[in-house]
Structure 1
Amino acid sequence: MLVVDDNEEIRNILVDIFSPLYTVETASDGEEGYDKVRKLQPDLVISDIMMPGMPGTELCAKIKNHIETCHIPVVLLTALSAPERELEGLRIGADCYVVKPFNMRRLVMQCNNLINTRRILQQKYARQLDGKAEKIATNKLDQQFIEQATQVVEAHLENPEFSVELFSREMGVGRTVLFQKIKGITGSTPNNFIMNMRLKKATYFLLNAPEMNISDIAYRLGFGNPQYFNKCFKELFGVAPTQYRKSQQPPA
């Protein structure tokens, strides 16, 4: 978590509140905050709006309009309660708008909810067979990124040589950015993202290709070891491939 506020007392209060729950970094202005956002890739940013130099609204806009950071939730703090101020914050992409003086317990709950809701969506997305980008991505940049990533992986599902290096090259980004984006949006590493898509494809073969046995499917999807395929499939879907196939068959 990153706390951005030019008021040292407020920064210290927020650190005291959140440090039992999260690793908390701080910045004293928007420019320092943006540098740390790009470097640290925090799970959440809490920023004051009224700061010298770069205000919190500009910081939020920069975070939400850059492909490397747009997946990061932003909470804006302000002493101004005018509705138009809140609408402006939400318009530029803020995930939550909190008016000072804030209730500490309420702020903690709001931040926890933002982080936990994202994690729940990530867990559901990992198991959903359709895996549509809008179900996990909260903005257009992330939707486009995940749609492109999905298309790239789908084109290589049956290629056992497909690697993260090739993945990043076809996405047109470095491996570090690929890791940050895939992890930030889906909660999975690029390797697990590839594996999960292969396992989802396996469900199609299990239901629609009765002539293929489990080993055939494993080798078809780039798994060199059918036992490893079985293990990964059960970890993702909760049942072994043979049980999945039987459970989806209509009764005789």
Structure 2
Amino acid sequence: MNVKNDKENETGKPTLIIADDHLEILDFIADDLSESYTTLKAINGQEILDLLAQHTVQLIISDVMMPIMDGFELCRIIKSDVEFSHIPIILLTAKNTLQSKIKGLEEGADAYIEKPFSVAHLQAQIHSLLANRNKVREFFVSSPLAHINTMAHNKADEIFLEKLNQLIQEHIADPELDVEKLAQMMYMSRPTLYRKIKAISDLTPNDLINISRLKKAAELLSLGQYKIFEIAYMVGYNSQTHFGRNFQKQFGITPSEYIEQQKSKNK
């Protein structure tokens, strides 16, 4: 099992991999972005994969035409790998044909920028991709009825989140449900599951389990068929008081207030 090197995350900056076989271009882009991001450099797709095995990465910028493994093949591999499919990829290319753009997007690229390009344009694209993901995460966490799939940005992540959510829902009444049990049921190592959930949601697996409990509780509260203490036990809490505190902390409203809010909406 590879051990992730997260020293670069201590800076508080998102970590990017930049790949181009033209070293002058590679150094220029890396230098320009280094003020806002931790930058790792590669000269082909295989080196990117090697870096991914050692570092936690938030975004990849890759040239299309590279030796050993080009940007298209790299994109296809990353977007089909459950451990890395969540990472946004910006492809850079001198090819300005529509066919080339379509191929890049079909392989799963999140953005496509033609050379020569403005560095300001590249910076804006990076900021937009990372900011949009943060907005989606915040919406999921703060909205009682937002589904976990709102955080999926591609089919591989959607499949992963669907399976994860199904297992959590099946065992939601179990107060002992934790990352260890979830990793076993997902047939993943604990570190791999932890990294994947953290990368998609910015939550630990146990935090995600707890939020899923509270979201299920919100769904049950909105039905108006159960008492609050019954719902607390149905979603794995041993204490109604503990449940109520967590619910209010997560959604800014008590379970009782939430019931009244839902009644008002349904009138």
TM over 0.5: yes
Assess, with a 3 A threshold, how the Cα gap between structure 1 residues 14 and 229 changes in structure 2: closer, same or farther: farther
Q: Distance in 1 between matches of 2:213 and 2:73?
A: 40
Q: Could you say which residue in structure 2 is the equivalent of 1:154?
A: 169
Q: Which runs of 5+ in 1 are unaligned?
A: none
Q: Could you say which residue in structure 1 is the equivalent of 2:106?
A: 91
Q: Map 1:59-208 onto structure 2 (within 5 A).
A: 59-126=74-141, 127-131=143-147, 133=149, 135-208=150-223
Checking the alignment, whether the CA contact within 8 Å between 2:88 and 2:110 is kept in structure 1 is yes
Question: Which amino acid is the alignment partner of residue 58 of structure 2?
Answer: D
Q: Distance in 2 between matches of 1:223 and 1:23?
A: 41
Q: Distance in 2 between matches of 1:91 and 1:208?
A: 42
Whether 1:232 and 2:246 are equivalent positions in the alignment is: yes
C-alpha RMSD of the superposition: 2.1
How many residues get paired?
A: 250
Question: Which amino acid is the alignment partner of residue 131 of structure 1?
Answer: H
1:40 aligns to what SS in structure 2? coil
Q: Distance in 2 between matches of 1:210 and 1:86?
A: 52
From 72, 87, 103, the equivalent of 1:57 is 72
From 7, 17, 24, the equivalent of 1:9 is 24
2:51 aligns to what SS in structure 1? helix
Q: Distance in 2 between matches of 1:199 and 1:179?
A: 20
2:82 aligns to what SS in structure 1? coil
Question: Which amino acid is the alignment partner of residue 145 of structure 2?
Answer: L
1:203 aligns to what SS in structure 2? helix
Checking the alignment, whether the CA contact within 8 Å between 2:19 and 2:48 is kept in structure 1 is yes
From 245, 256, 260, the equivalent of 1:242 is 256
From 221, 227, 236, the equivalent of 2:235 is 221
Q: Distance in 1 between matches of 2:26 and 2:238?
A: 52
> What is the CA-CA distance between 1:181 and the residue it aligns to?
2.0
Higher mean C-alpha deviation, range 151-160 or range 117-126: 117-126
Q: Could you say which residue in structure 2 is the equivalent of 1:38?
A: 53
> What is the CA-CA distance between 1:227 and the residue it aligns to?
4.5
Q: Distance in 1 between matches of 2:226 and 2:160?
A: 36
Checking the alignment, whether the CA contact within 8 Å between 2:144 and 2:218 is kept in structure 1 is no
Over the matched positions of the two proteins, sequence identity in percent amounts to 35
Q: Distance in 2 between matches of 1:9 and 1:18?
A: 14
Q: Could you say which residue in structure 2 is the equivalent of 1:28?
A: 43
Whether 1:212 and 2:227 are equivalent positions in the alignment is: yes
